[in-house]
Amino acid sequence: MGILEVRDLVVTVEGKKILKGISLSLEKGKIHALMGPNGSGKSTLAFALAGHPDYLIEEGRIFLNSEDITKLPPHERARRGLFLGFQYPPEVEGVRLREFLRLAAANCHEPFCEFQKLYLESLAYFRMDELGERELNVGFSGGEKKRSELLQMRVLRPKVALLDEPDSGVDVDGLRLIAAGIEEAARLGTAVLLITHYPRILEHLPISKVFVLDDGHIVREGGPELAWEIERSGYEAVRG
Partner 1 sequence: MKRTSVGLTAELIEEISREKGEPRWMLEHRLRALEIFRELPMPRFGPDLSEVDFSDISYYLRTVEPVGSWEELPEEIRRTFEELGLPEAERKALAGLGAQVDSEVVYRSILEEVRAQGVIFEPMEEALKNHPDLVREHFMKVIPPEDNKFAALHGAVWSGGTFVWVPEGVEVAIPLQAYFRMQTQGVGQFEHTLIVAEPGSSVHYIEGCSAPRYTKAALHSGMVEIVVKEGAHVRFTTIQNWSRNVYNLNNKRAVAYAGATMDWVSGSLGSKVTMLYPSTILAGKGAKTENLSFSFARNGQWLDLGAKAIHLAPDTSSRLVSRSVVQGKAKSVFRGKLYVAPEAKGAKGHVECSTLLLSPEAETETIPTLDVRNHEVEVGHEATVGRVSRDQLFYLMSRGLDEAEALSLIINGFVSPILKEIPFEYAVELKRLLEMSFAEAIG
Ligand X SMILES: Nc1ncnc2c1ncn2[C@@H]1O[C@H](COP(=O)(O)OP(=O)(O)OP(=O)(O)O)[C@@H](O)[C@H]1O
**x/- track of binding to ligand X for residues 22-61 (CB under 6 A):** --------------x-xxxxxxx---------x-------
| Minimum distance from residue 55 beta carbon to partner 1 (Å) | 10
Rounded-to-integer distance, Cα 27 and Cα 190, Å: 8
Alpha-carbon distances of 221 from 1, 174, 213, rounded to whole Å: 17, 28, 9
Work out what residue 44 binds among partner 1, Mg ion, ligand X, none; the CB cut-off runs from 5 to 8 Å by kind.
ligand X
Which of 44/122 has CB closer to ligand X? Answer: 44
Work out what residue 40 binds among partner 1, Mg ion, ligand X, none; the CB cut-off runs from 5 to 8 Å by kind.
ligand X
Work out what residue 70 binds among ligand X, Mg ion, partner 1, none; the CB cut-off runs from 5 to 8 Å by kind.
none
Rounded-to-integer distance, Cα 220 and Cα 3, Å: 21
Q: Are 126 and 177 in contact (CB under 8 A)?
A: yes
Which of 9/108 has CB closer to Mg ion? Answer: 9
Please give the residue ranges that form the binding site for partner 1 (CB under 8 A).
50-54, 73-75, 77-79, 83-84, 86, 89-90, 92-95, 99-101, 103-104, 107-108, 135-136, 152, 156
Mark the segment that binds Mg ion (CB under 5 A) among 6-14, 62-70, 82-90, 126-134: 82-90
β-pair partners for 164: 195
> Binding Mg ion by CB under 5 A: which of 22, 30, 37, 43?
43
Work out what residue 190 binds among Mg ion, partner 1, ligand X, none; the CB cut-off runs from 5 to 8 Å by kind.
none
User: Which residue number has the CB closest to Mg ion?
Assistant: 43
> Binding ligand X by CB under 6 A: which of 7, 10, 13, 95?
13
Rounded-to-integer distance, Cα 217 and Cα 121, Å: 40
Rounded-to-integer distance, Cα 103 and Cα 83, Å: 15
